[in-house]
Amino acid sequence: MEEQFIEQTTKLTDAQIEALQIVKDQIATTIDKDFIEEITKSNITAFSHEDVKYRITKPNYQDKQTIYKERVKKFTELLRDDSFTLEKDLKKLYLKRGIDIDGMAKKITSLETKKEGVQYKLGEVLKKDGNEKDCETYKKEIQDIQEEQKQLAVESSALLEFTIENQVMLHMYNYMTYVITEKEVEGKFVKAFESFQKFMEIDDDALMGKLAFIITMTYQNAL
């Protein structure tokens, strides 16, 4: 069972990769520089999608309480479900298979220190004379370190995707989106979705992608 779990968590099927690409493309067409500038201007984000005007506002105290209760409920529910594992237990499982997640985190930190060392040298050169050759060499070194850090972060995050903690976080983002999204009906803004169930049943990747993007960029600090 352990092997099967690790197999499932580390490999994406071709269909999953294709589906992810479609969602990515749909999001890419709707989220551009102007859209990012627009959501930066105010803490209330409004946008139109298929002739419906949506609005996302900051969660108030009551919203936060509702979201927190849902968080506790989901965490308890997943804790009772044997098919999900806590992060620390999953890390132990991976370690048995020779995958050291904590080691990856340490590597990322040590790469950061290494990067800062190169940044210092590059900064010094820039301040001194801006020697083109030295600048390019250091820049390339920094790019390589950043790429390595990115690869490790993506790998580690993919490996830990199915932990209870991550699933709860994912659920919270969805739940918060459901709680704070409104739509305009006859000149008034009302809750956009009748229930959380209805929200989860929406088959519109472009809308979901846009909402997910806005929530992540605006209120991820509210969770």
Which of 136, 214, 212, 142 shows the shortest CA–CA distance to 174? 212
Binding residues for other proteins restricted to 188-217, rule: CB under 8 A: 213, 217
Which one of 122, 160, 172, 179 is in contact with other proteins (CB under 8 A)?
122
Please compute, for residue 134, the number of CA atoms within 13 A of its CA located in the half-sphere on the CB side: 14
Residue 112 found at the interface with other proteins (CB under 8 A) = no
- The secondary structure of the chain in percent helix, strand, coil, rounded to multiples of 5, reads 70, 10, 20
CA dist 111 and 143 (Å) reads 12
| From 8-16, 27-35, 81-89, 172-180, span contacting other proteins (CB under 8 A) | 27-35
Nearest of 114, 119, 187, 182 to residue 152 by alpha carbon: 114
Of 39-47, 102-110, 179-187, 196-204: span binding other proteins (CB under 8 A): 39-47
Work out whether 42 is an interface residue with other proteins (CB under 8 A).
Answer: yes
Tell me the pairing of strands 52-56 and 181-185. antiparallel
Q: Which of 41, 80, 96, 133 binds other proteins (CB under 8 A)?
A: 41
Q: According to the binding rule CB under 8 A, does residue 24 interact with other proteins?
A: yes
Nearer to other proteins, 10 or 119 (CB): 119
169 interacts with other proteins by CB under 8 A: no
Residues 6+ apart with CB under 8 A from 203: none
User: Cβ closer to other proteins: 122 or 164?
Assistant: 122
User: DSSP class of residue 85?
Assistant: B
The site that binds other proteins (CB under 8 A) totals a number of residues, namely 36
CA distance 208 to 177: 9
**Residue 58 found at the interface with other proteins (CB under 8 A):** yes
Q: For residue 87, which of 34, 70, 78 has the smallest C-alpha distance?
A: 78
Q: Identify which of residues 64 and 75 has a Cβ nearer to other proteins in the complex.
A: 64
By CB under 8 A, name the binding residues for other proteins: 24, 27-28, 31-33, 36-37, 39-44, 58, 116, 118-120, 122-124, 126-127, 130, 135, 138-139, 142-143, 213, 217-221
